[in-house]
Structure 1
Protein backbone atom coordinates (compact mmCIF):
# COMPACT_ATOMS: atom_id res chain seq x y z
CA UNK A 1 0.00 0.00 0.00
CA UNK A 2 1.08 3.56 -0.74
CA UNK A 3 0.75 5.69 2.40
CA UNK A 4 0.76 9.48 2.07
CA UNK A 5 1.23 11.71 5.12
CA UNK A 6 0.40 15.40 5.13
CA UNK A 7 -2.21 18.06 4.49
CA UNK A 8 -5.92 17.80 3.78
CA UNK A 9 -7.13 21.38 3.26
CA UNK A 10 -9.76 23.43 1.50
CA UNK A 11 -8.56 25.13 -1.69
CA UNK A 12 -10.12 28.51 -2.49
CA UNK A 13 -9.00 29.07 -6.06
CA UNK A 14 -9.17 32.53 -7.61
CA UNK A 15 -8.81 32.43 -11.39
CA UNK A 16 -7.94 35.92 -12.62
CA UNK A 17 -9.62 36.44 -16.00
CA UNK A 18 -7.65 39.61 -16.77
CA UNK A 19 -4.20 40.90 -15.77
CA UNK A 20 -4.12 41.36 -12.00
CA UNK A 21 -4.24 45.04 -11.01
CA UNK A 22 -2.86 45.96 -7.60
CA UNK A 23 -4.97 47.88 -5.08
CA UNK A 24 -8.20 47.67 -7.10
CA UNK A 25 -10.63 45.17 -8.62
CA UNK A 26 -9.56 42.43 -11.02
CA UNK A 27 -12.14 40.21 -12.72
CA UNK A 28 -12.02 36.58 -11.56
CA UNK A 29 -13.79 33.27 -11.12
CA UNK A 30 -13.68 31.67 -7.66
CA UNK A 31 -13.80 27.92 -7.02
CA UNK A 32 -13.68 25.82 -3.85
CA UNK A 33 -12.31 22.28 -3.83
CA UNK A 34 -10.65 19.64 -1.73
CA UNK A 35 -6.93 20.38 -1.57
CA UNK A 36 -3.69 19.75 0.27
CA UNK A 37 -0.56 18.41 -1.41
CA UNK A 38 -0.61 15.03 0.32
CA UNK A 39 -4.37 14.63 -0.22
CA UNK A 40 -3.90 15.44 -3.92
CA UNK A 41 -1.28 12.70 -4.27
CA UNK A 42 -3.47 10.20 -2.45
CA UNK A 43 -6.58 11.03 -4.49
CA UNK A 44 -4.79 10.65 -7.83
CA UNK A 45 -2.92 7.49 -6.81
CA UNK A 46 -5.92 5.67 -5.36
CA UNK A 47 -7.35 4.74 -8.77
CA UNK A 48 -4.03 3.09 -9.64
CA UNK A 49 -2.78 1.47 -6.44
CA UNK A 50 -4.16 0.86 -2.90
CA UNK A 51 -3.60 4.17 -1.09
CA UNK A 52 -3.96 5.40 2.47
CA UNK A 53 -3.89 9.00 3.68
CA UNK A 54 -2.74 9.99 7.19
CA UNK A 55 -3.41 13.52 8.39
CA UNK A 56 -5.35 15.88 10.63
CA UNK A 57 -8.33 18.16 10.05
CA UNK A 58 -10.45 20.31 12.35
CA UNK A 59 -13.40 19.03 14.31
CA UNK A 60 -15.75 21.07 12.15
CA UNK A 61 -18.01 20.91 9.12
CA UNK A 62 -15.22 21.80 6.73
CA UNK A 63 -13.11 18.92 7.99
CA UNK A 64 -15.99 16.46 7.68
CA UNK A 65 -16.65 17.59 4.09
CA UNK A 66 -12.98 17.23 3.13
CA UNK A 67 -12.74 13.74 4.63
CA UNK A 68 -15.87 12.70 2.73
CA UNK A 69 -14.53 14.12 -0.54
CA UNK A 70 -11.19 12.35 -0.22
CA UNK A 71 -12.84 9.06 0.72
CA UNK A 72 -14.99 9.35 -2.42
CA UNK A 73 -11.75 9.15 -4.44
CA UNK A 74 -11.17 5.64 -3.10
CA UNK A 75 -8.58 6.60 -0.48
CA UNK A 76 -8.36 4.71 2.82
CA UNK A 77 -8.28 7.49 5.45
CA UNK A 78 -6.71 7.62 8.92
CA UNK A 79 -7.51 11.14 10.12
CA UNK A 80 -7.27 12.91 13.46
CA UNK A 81 -10.08 15.44 14.16
CA UNK A 82 -9.40 18.42 16.41
CA UNK A 83 -9.19 22.21 16.18
CA UNK A 84 -9.81 24.22 13.00
CA UNK A 85 -9.56 22.94 9.44
CA UNK A 86 -6.97 24.68 7.27
CA UNK A 87 -7.37 26.32 3.89
CA UNK A 88 -5.26 27.71 1.07
CA UNK A 89 -6.18 30.69 -1.09
CA UNK A 90 -4.63 30.32 -4.56
CA UNK A 91 -4.56 33.28 -6.91
CA UNK A 92 -4.00 32.01 -10.45
CA UNK A 93 -2.85 34.46 -13.13
CA UNK A 94 -4.14 34.13 -16.72
CA UNK A 95 -0.92 32.32 -17.72
CA UNK A 96 -1.59 29.57 -15.15
CA UNK A 97 1.06 30.57 -12.60
CA UNK A 98 -0.20 30.75 -9.04
CA UNK A 99 0.46 32.50 -5.74
CA UNK A 100 -0.59 30.65 -2.60
CA UNK A 101 -1.66 31.87 0.83
CA UNK A 102 -1.73 28.80 3.13
CA UNK A 103 -3.32 28.56 6.56
CA UNK A 104 -2.62 24.96 7.51
CA UNK A 105 -4.25 25.19 10.96
CA UNK A 106 -4.98 21.66 12.32
CA UNK A 107 -3.05 19.98 9.50
CA UNK A 108 0.25 21.16 10.97
CA UNK A 109 -0.58 19.69 14.39
CA UNK A 110 -0.43 16.02 13.42
CA UNK A 111 1.09 14.01 16.29
CA UNK A 112 0.73 10.71 18.10
CA UNK A 113 -0.13 8.67 15.02
CA UNK A 114 -0.88 5.06 15.91
CA UNK A 115 1.79 2.74 14.43
CA UNK A 116 -0.94 0.41 13.13
CA UNK A 117 -1.95 3.16 10.69
CA UNK A 118 1.16 2.09 8.77
CA UNK A 119 0.07 -1.54 8.52
CA UNK A 120 0.63 -2.80 4.99
CA UNK A 121 2.85 0.11 3.94
CA UNK A 122 5.09 -0.58 0.93
CA UNK A 123 5.88 3.06 0.17
CA UNK A 124 5.59 6.19 2.33
CA UNK A 125 5.32 9.56 0.59
CA UNK A 126 5.71 12.90 2.39
CA UNK A 127 5.47 16.43 0.94
CA UNK A 128 7.97 18.75 2.64
CA UNK A 129 5.11 20.89 3.99
CA UNK A 130 5.09 18.30 6.76
CA UNK A 131 8.45 19.64 7.97
CA UNK A 132 7.32 23.25 8.32
CA UNK A 133 6.16 23.23 11.96
CA UNK A 134 6.33 21.15 15.11
CA UNK A 135 4.81 18.87 16.27
CA UNK A 136 4.22 17.56 12.75
CA UNK A 137 7.90 17.78 11.79
CA UNK A 138 8.95 15.36 14.51
CA UNK A 139 5.96 13.12 13.82
CA UNK A 140 6.81 12.82 10.13
CA UNK A 141 10.38 11.88 10.97
CA UNK A 142 9.07 9.21 13.36
CA UNK A 143 6.73 7.82 10.69
CA UNK A 144 9.57 7.66 8.18
CA UNK A 145 11.61 5.62 10.68
CA UNK A 146 8.66 3.31 11.38
CA UNK A 147 8.07 2.79 7.65
CA UNK A 148 11.76 1.99 7.13
CA UNK A 149 11.57 -0.58 9.93
CA UNK A 150 8.76 -2.24 7.99
CA UNK A 151 10.84 -2.41 4.82
CA UNK A 152 8.98 0.38 3.01
CA UNK A 153 10.48 2.76 0.48
CA UNK A 154 10.22 6.49 1.18
CA UNK A 155 9.79 9.53 -1.07
CA UNK A 156 9.81 13.23 -0.23
CA UNK A 157 8.62 16.15 -2.35
CA UNK A 158 10.51 19.45 -2.06
CA UNK A 159 7.08 21.14 -2.32
CA UNK A 160 7.85 24.88 -2.48
CA UNK A 161 10.71 27.33 -2.94
CA UNK A 162 9.11 29.60 -0.35
CA UNK A 163 9.01 26.73 2.12
CA UNK A 164 12.66 25.81 1.46
CA UNK A 165 13.79 29.41 1.94
CA UNK A 166 11.69 29.82 5.07
CA UNK A 167 13.09 26.68 6.67
CA UNK A 168 16.63 27.35 5.41
CA UNK A 169 18.13 25.40 2.54
CA UNK A 170 21.09 24.11 4.57
CA UNK A 171 18.71 22.87 7.26
CA UNK A 172 16.51 21.06 4.72
CA UNK A 173 19.54 19.44 3.08
CA UNK A 174 20.61 18.20 6.50
CA UNK A 175 17.21 16.63 7.15
CA UNK A 176 17.19 14.99 3.72
CA UNK A 177 20.67 13.57 4.27
CA UNK A 178 19.48 12.08 7.57
CA UNK A 179 16.21 10.67 6.21
CA UNK A 180 17.83 9.52 2.95
CA UNK A 181 14.64 9.03 0.87
CA UNK A 182 14.60 6.58 -2.00
CA UNK A 183 13.19 9.33 -4.21
CA UNK A 184 13.26 13.13 -3.91
CA UNK A 185 10.88 15.02 -6.23
CA UNK A 186 11.62 18.66 -7.10
CA UNK A 187 10.66 21.10 -9.81
CA UNK A 188 13.35 23.13 -11.55
CA UNK A 189 13.26 26.08 -9.14
CA UNK A 190 13.26 23.85 -6.05
CA UNK A 191 16.12 21.77 -7.44
CA UNK A 192 18.16 24.91 -8.09
CA UNK A 193 17.59 26.11 -4.51
CA UNK A 194 18.74 22.76 -3.16
CA UNK A 195 21.67 22.51 -5.55
CA UNK A 196 20.53 19.20 -7.05
CA UNK A 197 19.39 20.43 -10.47
CA UNK A 198 22.40 18.91 -12.24
CA UNK A 199 22.84 15.86 -10.05
CA UNK A 200 26.33 15.62 -8.55
CA UNK A 201 27.51 15.18 -4.97
CA UNK A 202 24.71 17.14 -3.33
CA UNK A 203 22.04 15.12 -5.10
CA UNK A 204 23.83 11.89 -4.18
CA UNK A 205 23.98 12.96 -0.53
CA UNK A 206 20.27 13.63 -0.07
CA UNK A 207 18.48 10.81 -1.91
CA UNK A 208 19.12 7.59 -3.76
CA UNK A 209 17.18 9.04 -6.71
CA UNK A 210 16.38 12.68 -7.50
CA UNK A 211 13.64 13.44 -10.03
CA UNK A 212 13.78 16.99 -11.38
CA UNK A 213 10.81 18.34 -13.34
CA UNK A 214 11.30 21.16 -15.86
CA UNK A 215 7.72 22.05 -16.75
CA UNK A 216 7.19 21.28 -20.46
CA UNK A 217 10.86 20.33 -20.90
CA UNK A 218 12.15 16.77 -20.26
CA UNK A 219 12.28 15.46 -16.70
CA UNK A 220 15.72 14.43 -15.42
CA UNK A 221 16.32 11.41 -13.20
CA UNK A 222 19.55 11.15 -11.20
CA UNK A 223 20.65 7.99 -9.37
CA UNK A 224 23.55 8.47 -6.94
CA UNK A 225 24.08 11.89 -8.52
CA UNK A 226 24.39 10.55 -12.10
CA UNK A 227 21.72 11.19 -14.72
CA UNK A 228 20.15 7.90 -15.75
CA UNK A 229 17.14 9.15 -17.72
CA UNK A 230 15.78 12.23 -19.47
CA UNK A 231 12.07 11.74 -20.12
CA UNK A 232 10.25 13.97 -22.64
CA UNK A 233 7.00 15.66 -21.62
CA UNK A 234 4.22 15.30 -24.22
CA UNK A 235 2.72 18.66 -25.25
CA UNK A 236 -0.63 19.65 -23.75
CA UNK A 237 -3.40 21.58 -25.47
CA UNK A 238 -4.03 24.13 -22.71
CA UNK A 239 -2.50 25.21 -19.41
CA UNK A 240 -4.85 27.13 -17.12
CA UNK A 241 -3.90 26.23 -13.55
CA UNK A 242 -0.64 24.55 -12.50
CA UNK A 243 -1.97 23.85 -8.99
CA UNK A 244 -1.51 20.20 -8.13
CA UNK A 245 0.44 19.28 -11.28
CA UNK A 246 3.44 18.20 -9.21
CA UNK A 247 1.22 16.20 -6.87
CA UNK A 248 -0.41 14.42 -9.81
CA UNK A 249 3.03 13.68 -11.26
CA UNK A 250 4.16 12.17 -7.95
CA UNK A 251 0.99 10.06 -7.75
CA UNK A 252 1.48 8.66 -11.23
CA UNK A 253 5.18 8.05 -10.70
CA UNK A 254 4.65 6.29 -7.35
CA UNK A 255 1.77 4.11 -8.54
CA UNK A 256 3.85 2.99 -11.52
CA UNK A 257 6.99 2.43 -9.43
CA UNK A 258 5.09 0.31 -6.90
CA UNK A 259 3.90 -1.77 -9.86
CA UNK A 260 7.52 -2.31 -10.92
CA UNK A 261 7.99 0.36 -13.59
CA UNK A 262 11.46 1.72 -14.30
CA UNK A 263 12.31 5.43 -14.02
CA UNK A 264 11.35 6.28 -17.60
CA UNK A 265 7.98 4.54 -17.46
CA UNK A 266 7.21 5.96 -14.02
CA UNK A 267 7.94 9.51 -15.22
CA UNK A 268 5.79 8.97 -18.31
CA UNK A 269 2.88 7.92 -16.11
CA UNK A 270 3.46 10.97 -13.94
CA UNK A 271 3.48 13.27 -16.98
CA UNK A 272 0.18 11.87 -18.24
CA UNK A 273 -1.51 12.33 -14.88
CA UNK A 274 -0.15 15.86 -14.43
CA UNK A 275 -1.51 16.81 -17.86
CA UNK A 276 -4.99 15.83 -16.71
CA UNK A 277 -5.17 18.50 -13.98
CA UNK A 278 -3.65 21.64 -15.48
CA UNK A 279 -6.76 22.67 -17.42
CA UNK A 280 -9.02 22.66 -14.33
CA UNK A 281 -9.21 24.66 -11.10
CA UNK A 282 -7.18 23.48 -8.11
CA UNK A 283 -5.39 20.19 -7.63
CA UNK A 284 -8.38 17.88 -7.16
CA UNK A 285 -9.36 15.18 -9.66
CA UNK A 286 -11.12 16.85 -12.63
CA UNK A 287 -14.85 16.19 -12.80
CA UNK A 288 -17.21 16.58 -15.73
Structure 2
Protein backbone atom coordinates (compact mmCIF):
# COMPACT_ATOMS: atom_id res chain seq x y z
CA UNK A 1 0.00 0.00 0.00
CA UNK A 2 1.37 3.38 -1.03
CA UNK A 3 2.01 6.02 1.62
CA UNK A 4 -0.54 8.87 1.36
CA UNK A 5 0.88 12.37 0.91
CA UNK A 6 -0.54 15.75 1.89
CA UNK A 7 0.96 18.61 -0.12
CA UNK A 8 0.67 22.18 1.18
CA UNK A 9 1.46 24.92 -1.31
CA UNK A 10 0.52 27.32 -4.06
CA UNK A 11 -1.90 26.84 -6.94
CA UNK A 12 -1.38 29.20 -9.87
CA UNK A 13 -1.61 29.79 -13.58
CA UNK A 14 1.78 29.83 -15.27
CA UNK A 15 2.07 32.21 -18.22
CA UNK A 16 5.09 30.74 -19.98
CA UNK A 17 6.88 33.12 -22.34
CA UNK A 18 9.55 31.34 -24.41
CA UNK A 19 11.79 34.03 -25.92
CA UNK A 20 13.20 33.60 -29.41
CA UNK A 21 16.34 35.51 -28.44
CA UNK A 22 17.67 37.95 -25.89
CA UNK A 23 15.13 40.49 -24.54
CA UNK A 24 14.96 43.75 -26.49
CA UNK A 25 14.40 46.62 -24.02
CA UNK A 26 12.43 49.46 -25.61
CA UNK A 27 11.48 47.29 -28.59
CA UNK A 28 9.86 43.89 -29.13
CA UNK A 29 10.88 40.31 -29.65
CA UNK A 30 8.90 37.33 -31.01
CA UNK A 31 7.98 34.78 -28.36
CA UNK A 32 5.85 31.70 -27.85
CA UNK A 33 3.31 32.32 -25.06
CA UNK A 34 1.08 29.75 -23.37
CA UNK A 35 -0.93 29.50 -20.15
CA UNK A 36 -0.54 26.30 -18.13
CA UNK A 37 -1.21 24.96 -14.66
CA UNK A 38 1.43 25.91 -12.12
CA UNK A 39 2.18 26.70 -8.50
CA UNK A 40 4.85 24.74 -6.64
CA UNK A 41 2.41 22.82 -4.44
CA UNK A 42 0.07 21.99 -7.29
CA UNK A 43 2.98 20.85 -9.48
CA UNK A 44 4.26 18.40 -6.87
CA UNK A 45 0.75 17.10 -6.19
CA UNK A 46 -0.05 16.59 -9.88
CA UNK A 47 3.16 14.65 -10.51
CA UNK A 48 2.70 12.52 -7.38
CA UNK A 49 -0.83 11.59 -8.44
CA UNK A 50 0.33 10.77 -11.96
CA UNK A 51 2.92 8.43 -10.44
CA UNK A 52 0.22 6.59 -8.48
CA UNK A 53 0.73 8.15 -5.03
CA UNK A 54 -2.49 8.98 -3.10
CA UNK A 55 -2.23 12.77 -2.84
CA UNK A 56 -4.22 15.53 -1.17
CA UNK A 57 -3.47 19.16 -2.06
CA UNK A 58 -4.24 21.89 0.48
CA UNK A 59 -4.27 25.45 -0.83
CA UNK A 60 -6.35 28.42 -1.91
CA UNK A 61 -7.78 29.69 -5.20
CA UNK A 62 -9.71 32.79 -6.16
CA UNK A 63 -13.40 32.92 -7.02
CA UNK A 64 -12.61 33.20 -10.72
CA UNK A 65 -12.46 31.16 -13.91
CA UNK A 66 -8.72 30.39 -13.63
CA UNK A 67 -9.25 28.91 -10.17
CA UNK A 68 -12.12 26.72 -11.35
CA UNK A 69 -10.08 25.58 -14.34
CA UNK A 70 -7.06 24.66 -12.24
CA UNK A 71 -9.24 22.74 -9.77
CA UNK A 72 -10.78 20.76 -12.64
CA UNK A 73 -7.35 20.01 -14.12
CA UNK A 74 -5.97 18.78 -10.81
CA UNK A 75 -9.04 16.65 -10.13
CA UNK A 76 -8.68 15.06 -13.56
CA UNK A 77 -5.03 14.33 -12.73
CA UNK A 78 -6.16 12.32 -9.69
CA UNK A 79 -5.38 14.83 -6.94
CA UNK A 80 -7.81 14.98 -4.00
CA UNK A 81 -8.43 18.67 -3.42
CA UNK A 82 -8.72 20.67 -0.23
CA UNK A 83 -8.77 24.06 -1.96
CA UNK A 84 -10.59 26.93 -0.30
CA UNK A 85 -12.06 29.55 -2.61
CA UNK A 86 -11.22 33.03 -1.29
CA UNK A 87 -14.00 35.54 -2.09
CA UNK A 88 -12.78 38.65 -3.87
CA UNK A 89 -9.27 37.28 -4.43
CA UNK A 90 -7.65 36.37 -7.72
CA UNK A 91 -6.07 32.97 -8.30
CA UNK A 92 -2.29 33.18 -8.31
CA UNK A 93 -0.49 33.96 -11.58
CA UNK A 94 3.18 33.48 -12.39
CA UNK A 95 4.85 34.81 -15.52
CA UNK A 96 7.84 32.68 -16.52
CA UNK A 97 10.28 34.28 -18.97
CA UNK A 98 12.23 31.45 -20.60
CA UNK A 99 15.50 32.32 -22.34
CA UNK A 100 16.84 30.38 -25.36
CA UNK A 101 19.04 28.19 -23.12
CA UNK A 102 16.01 27.10 -21.05
CA UNK A 103 16.75 29.22 -17.98
CA UNK A 104 13.86 31.26 -16.66
CA UNK A 105 12.94 34.24 -14.55
CA UNK A 106 9.72 34.25 -12.54
CA UNK A 107 7.33 37.15 -11.89
CA UNK A 108 4.86 36.08 -9.21
CA UNK A 109 1.47 37.42 -8.13
CA UNK A 110 0.49 34.82 -5.54
CA UNK A 111 -3.04 36.15 -5.08
CA UNK A 112 -5.34 33.86 -3.08
CA UNK A 113 -2.41 31.65 -2.03
CA UNK A 114 -1.48 34.24 0.57
CA UNK A 115 -4.79 33.67 2.38
CA UNK A 116 -4.01 30.06 3.40
CA UNK A 117 -5.05 29.31 7.00
CA UNK A 118 -4.21 26.45 9.38
CA UNK A 119 -7.79 25.16 9.09
CA UNK A 120 -7.31 24.72 5.34
CA UNK A 121 -4.83 21.88 5.89
CA UNK A 122 -6.36 18.45 6.64
CA UNK A 123 -5.22 16.43 9.62
CA UNK A 124 -2.38 14.13 8.59
CA UNK A 125 -2.82 10.39 8.33
CA UNK A 126 -0.65 8.73 11.01
CA UNK A 127 2.31 7.21 9.23
CA UNK A 128 1.69 9.31 6.14
CA UNK A 129 3.85 11.99 4.57
CA UNK A 130 3.64 15.79 4.46
CA UNK A 131 5.29 17.91 1.78
CA UNK A 132 5.42 21.66 2.37
CA UNK A 133 6.39 24.00 -0.44
CA UNK A 134 8.84 26.52 0.94
CA UNK A 135 6.87 29.45 -0.44
CA UNK A 136 4.23 28.69 2.19
CA UNK A 137 6.67 29.61 4.96
CA UNK A 138 8.19 32.68 3.31
CA UNK A 139 5.20 35.03 3.57
CA UNK A 140 3.36 36.10 6.74
CA UNK A 141 -0.03 35.26 5.18
CA UNK A 142 0.29 31.47 4.79
CA UNK A 143 3.22 30.99 7.19
CA UNK A 144 1.14 29.93 10.19
CA UNK A 145 -0.65 27.32 8.07
CA UNK A 146 2.69 25.86 7.07
CA UNK A 147 3.99 25.83 10.62
CA UNK A 148 0.76 24.25 11.92
CA UNK A 149 1.00 21.54 9.26
CA UNK A 150 4.59 20.78 10.27
CA UNK A 151 3.61 20.50 13.94
CA UNK A 152 0.63 18.26 13.20
CA UNK A 153 2.72 15.96 11.01
CA UNK A 154 5.35 15.59 13.73
CA UNK A 155 2.65 14.78 16.29
CA UNK A 156 1.18 12.13 13.96
CA UNK A 157 4.53 10.45 13.33
CA UNK A 158 4.61 11.41 9.65
CA UNK A 159 7.69 11.84 7.54
CA UNK A 160 8.07 15.40 6.24
CA UNK A 161 9.75 16.99 3.23
CA UNK A 162 10.32 20.70 2.64
CA UNK A 163 11.81 22.59 -0.28
CA UNK A 164 13.33 26.04 0.34
CA UNK A 165 11.54 27.52 -2.73
CA UNK A 166 13.90 30.23 -4.04
CA UNK A 167 17.02 32.08 -2.93
CA UNK A 168 15.57 35.59 -3.22
CA UNK A 169 12.55 35.12 -0.93
CA UNK A 170 14.58 32.83 1.34
CA UNK A 171 17.25 35.48 1.84
CA UNK A 172 14.60 38.09 2.60
CA UNK A 173 12.88 35.79 5.08
CA UNK A 174 16.08 34.84 6.88
CA UNK A 175 18.12 31.65 6.70
CA UNK A 176 18.23 31.05 10.47
CA UNK A 177 14.49 31.57 10.72
CA UNK A 178 13.81 29.08 7.94
CA UNK A 179 16.14 26.50 9.44
CA UNK A 180 14.39 26.85 12.79
CA UNK A 181 10.95 26.52 11.17
CA UNK A 182 11.92 23.31 9.37
CA UNK A 183 14.02 21.68 12.09
CA UNK A 184 11.63 18.71 12.29
CA UNK A 185 11.68 17.88 8.57
CA UNK A 186 12.84 14.43 7.51
CA UNK A 187 14.03 15.55 4.07
CA UNK A 188 15.12 18.96 2.83
CA UNK A 189 15.17 19.41 -0.95
CA UNK A 190 17.21 22.49 -1.96
CA UNK A 191 18.94 23.15 -5.23
CA UNK A 192 22.66 23.91 -5.13
CA UNK A 193 22.23 27.68 -4.79
CA UNK A 194 19.71 27.25 -1.97
CA UNK A 195 21.97 24.75 -0.20
CA UNK A 196 24.87 27.22 -0.39
CA UNK A 197 22.70 29.98 1.04
CA UNK A 198 21.40 27.79 3.86
CA UNK A 199 24.85 26.60 4.94
CA UNK A 200 27.44 29.12 3.77
CA UNK A 201 29.31 26.26 2.08
CA UNK A 202 30.47 26.94 -1.49
CA UNK A 203 30.78 23.26 -2.41
CA UNK A 204 27.39 21.53 -2.92
CA UNK A 205 28.58 18.28 -1.33
CA UNK A 206 29.81 20.14 1.75
CA UNK A 207 26.51 22.02 1.86
CA UNK A 208 24.57 18.76 1.63
CA UNK A 209 26.65 17.29 4.45
CA UNK A 210 25.99 20.36 6.59
CA UNK A 211 22.25 20.09 6.01
CA UNK A 212 22.36 16.36 6.78
CA UNK A 213 23.79 17.35 10.14
CA UNK A 214 20.49 19.09 10.85
CA UNK A 215 18.06 16.72 9.13
CA UNK A 216 18.00 12.96 8.62
CA UNK A 217 18.23 13.38 4.83
CA UNK A 218 19.43 16.20 2.57
CA UNK A 219 18.84 15.96 -1.17
CA UNK A 220 20.50 18.64 -3.31
CA UNK A 221 19.75 19.04 -7.01
CA UNK A 222 22.68 20.06 -9.20
CA UNK A 223 20.99 20.94 -12.51
CA UNK A 224 22.86 19.25 -15.39
CA UNK A 225 25.16 17.53 -12.86
CA UNK A 226 22.36 15.42 -11.37
CA UNK A 227 21.59 15.22 -7.66
CA UNK A 228 23.08 14.29 -4.27
CA UNK A 229 21.56 12.33 -1.39
CA UNK A 230 23.27 12.64 1.99
CA UNK A 231 22.14 10.82 5.14
CA UNK A 232 24.62 10.54 8.00
CA UNK A 233 27.89 9.36 6.44
CA UNK A 234 26.18 8.07 3.29
CA UNK A 235 26.65 10.17 0.15
CA UNK A 236 24.97 9.08 -3.09
CA UNK A 237 25.33 10.94 -6.40
CA UNK A 238 23.34 10.19 -9.53
CA UNK A 239 23.90 11.77 -12.93
CA UNK A 240 21.20 13.76 -14.70
CA UNK A 241 19.20 11.90 -17.34
CA UNK A 242 19.93 12.90 -20.95
CA UNK A 243 17.31 15.33 -22.22
CA UNK A 244 16.72 18.38 -24.40
CA UNK A 245 16.15 21.47 -22.26
CA UNK A 246 13.34 23.71 -23.48
CA UNK A 247 12.11 25.15 -20.18
CA UNK A 248 13.35 24.51 -16.64
CA UNK A 249 10.10 25.81 -15.05
CA UNK A 250 8.90 23.25 -12.51
CA UNK A 251 11.92 20.97 -12.84
CA UNK A 252 12.54 21.04 -9.08
CA UNK A 253 8.88 20.28 -8.35
CA UNK A 254 8.94 17.34 -10.75
CA UNK A 255 12.17 16.05 -9.20
CA UNK A 256 10.67 16.27 -5.70
CA UNK A 257 7.57 14.35 -6.76
CA UNK A 258 9.49 11.62 -8.57
CA UNK A 259 11.88 11.19 -5.65
CA UNK A 260 9.11 11.10 -3.04
CA UNK A 261 6.96 8.68 -5.04
CA UNK A 262 9.86 6.25 -5.32
CA UNK A 263 11.11 6.70 -1.76
CA UNK A 264 7.68 6.33 -0.18
CA UNK A 265 6.54 3.59 -2.55
CA UNK A 266 9.28 0.99 -2.09
CA UNK A 267 10.06 -1.02 1.05
CA UNK A 268 13.85 -0.62 0.82
CA UNK A 269 13.70 3.16 0.20
CA UNK A 270 16.85 3.04 -1.92
CA UNK A 271 18.48 6.49 -2.24
CA UNK A 272 19.86 5.71 -5.71
CA UNK A 273 16.46 4.56 -6.98
CA UNK A 274 14.77 7.61 -5.47
CA UNK A 275 17.29 9.98 -7.06
CA UNK A 276 16.94 8.28 -10.45
CA UNK A 277 13.16 8.52 -10.27
CA UNK A 278 13.33 12.22 -9.45
CA UNK A 279 15.83 12.93 -12.20
CA UNK A 280 13.72 11.02 -14.74
CA UNK A 281 10.65 13.08 -13.84
CA UNK A 282 12.62 16.33 -14.11
CA UNK A 283 14.12 15.32 -17.47
CA UNK A 284 10.63 14.71 -18.84
CA UNK A 285 9.34 18.10 -17.69
CA UNK A 286 12.17 20.25 -19.07
CA UNK A 287 11.61 18.89 -22.60
CA UNK A 288 8.53 21.09 -23.01
CA UNK A 289 7.23 24.48 -21.88
CA UNK A 290 5.42 24.54 -18.54
CA UNK A 291 5.73 22.81 -15.21
CA UNK A 292 3.39 19.85 -15.81
Matches of 1:69 and 1:12, distance apart in 2: 16
Q: Does 1:77 align with 2:77?
A: no
Report what 1:97 is aligned to: 103
Matches of 1:272 and 1:146, distance apart in 2: 32
In structure 2, the CA distance between the partners of 1:114 and 1:20, relative to structure 1 (3 Å rule), is: closer
Which range is displaced more, 157-166 or 243-252?
A: 157-166
Compute the displacement of 1:103 (Å). 0.6
TM value normalised by structure 1: 0.92
Gaps of 5+ in 1: none
Report what 1:113 is aligned to: 119
| Moved segments of 4+, more than 4 Å | 114-117
Report what 1:150 is aligned to: 156
For the aligned residues, what is the CA RMSD? 1.7
Residue pair 2:6, 2:57 contacting (<8 A) in 1 also: yes
Report what 2:278 is aligned to: 270
Compute the displacement of 1:116 (Å). 4.4
The Cα offsets for residues 187-214 of structure 1, whole Å up to 9 and x where unpaired, read as 1111111126314774134321110111
Matches of 2:85 and 2:213, distance apart in 1: 37
Matches of 2:289 and 2:211, distance apart in 1: 33
Counterpart among 219, 226, 232 of residue 239 in structure 2: 232
Matches of 1:60 and 1:67, distance apart in 2: 11
Matches of 2:36 and 2:209, distance apart in 1: 40
In structure 2, the CA distance between the partners of 1:131 and 1:116, relative to structure 1 (3 Å rule), is: closer
Report what 1:162 is aligned to: 168
Report what 1:217 is aligned to: 225
TM value normalised by structure 2: 0.91
Compute the displacement of 1:149 (Å). 1.7
In structure 2, the CA distance between the partners of 1:60 and 1:119, relative to structure 1 (3 Å rule), is: farther
Compute the displacement of 1:123 (Å). 0.6
